[in-house]
Amino acid sequence: EDQVTQSPEALRLQEGESSSLNCSYTVSGLRGLFWYRQDPGKGPEFLFTLYSAGEEKEKERLKATLTKKESFLHITAPKPEDSATYLCAVHPSGYSTLTFGKGTMLLVSP
Amino acid sequence: NAGVTQTPKFQVLKTGQSMTLQCAQDMNHEYMSWYRQDPGMGLRLIHYSVGAGITDQGEVPNGYNVSRSTTEDFPLRLLSAAPSQTSVYFCASSGGRGLRRTGVYGYTFGSGTRLTVV
């Protein structure tokens, strides 16, 4: 069974305090790994797709990396506006759908 | 350029009532899906469609029906609402069946429908 586990469940940072979110996965063949951001009361917003181990993607203060068993979302010098829930999802081979983790709720204090 | 539009945004139903959650996209996307999001459970797939006339079940399909008569619309029907169906429902669409096209654009989500069944 395909599984996606995100840690920590919640993370509180001070503005400027860099950290990483983890997404570990177990799938029968990975076609792609997705990161999303979700603000309260809104739908998930697409951030990155990673296709193979060793791949990295960057967007402003966010950097996503991928290994054969996990992905990290690194947040460098975060700002309060980075506060959100970050979701990880995998696209297993042979399927048309995504399997989501439960998310990490990030709170960045000024 | 509306993207994915869901209606209504909020709904309260009584147990046993039926209703349809609407989802429309204007991006000519082939793939559409419905998820529900519950505290502590994450996003769970209800039903999905890879094109007009083609639908399939996801992880939690019981109590829900879907159909896809056009590329643009993918309504979700609750046949006889139960309190366990209280949730936030999201519709999502993607550019194509091919992974590369899907990956480049990601899945576009609607803003959600918050449903309460009393």
pLDDT digit string, tens, across residues B51-108: 899 999 999 999 999 999 999 999 999 999 999 999 999 999 987 555 555 555 578 9
Instruction: Choose among B56, B106, B110: nearest Cβ to A46.
Output: B106
Q: Average pLDDT over chain B, rounded to whole?
A: 90
For residue B55, the model assigns a pLDDT of 94
Q: Which long-range contacts (CB under 8 A, 24 or more apart) does B55-63 make?
A: B56/A96, B58/A97, B58/B33, B58/B34, B60/B36
Question: Each residue's pLDDT tens digit in chain A (110 positions)?
Answer: 788 999 999 999 999 999 999 999 998 888 889 999 999 999 999 999 998 999 999 999 999 999 999 999 999 999 999 999 999 999 877 666 888 999 999 999 99
The separation between CA A48 and the C-alpha centre of its own chain, rounded to angstroms, equals: 8
Cβ(A72)–Cβ(A28) below 8 Å: no
Q: What's residue B32's pLDDT?
A: 92
B19-32: pLDDT as tens digits: 999 999 998 888 89
Q: What is the CA radius of gyration of chain B?
A: 14
The shortest CB-CB distance from B99 to any of A32, A36, A44 is to A32
Average pLDDT, stretch B36-58? 92
Per-residue confidence (pLDDT) for residue A92, from 0 to 100: 78
Which residues of chain B are at the A interface, by a Cβ-Cβ cutoff of 8 Å? 4, 31, 33, 35, 40-45, 48, 50, 56, 58, 90, 92, 97, 99, 102-112
Instruction: State residue B75's pLDDT score.
Output: 98
Higher-confidence position of A1 and B4? B4
Predicted confidence (pLDDT) per residue in A48-65, tens digit: 999 899 999 999 999 999
With CA atoms as reference, report the closest residue to B45 among A87, A96, A43, A51: A96
| Residue B58: closest C-alpha in chain A | A97
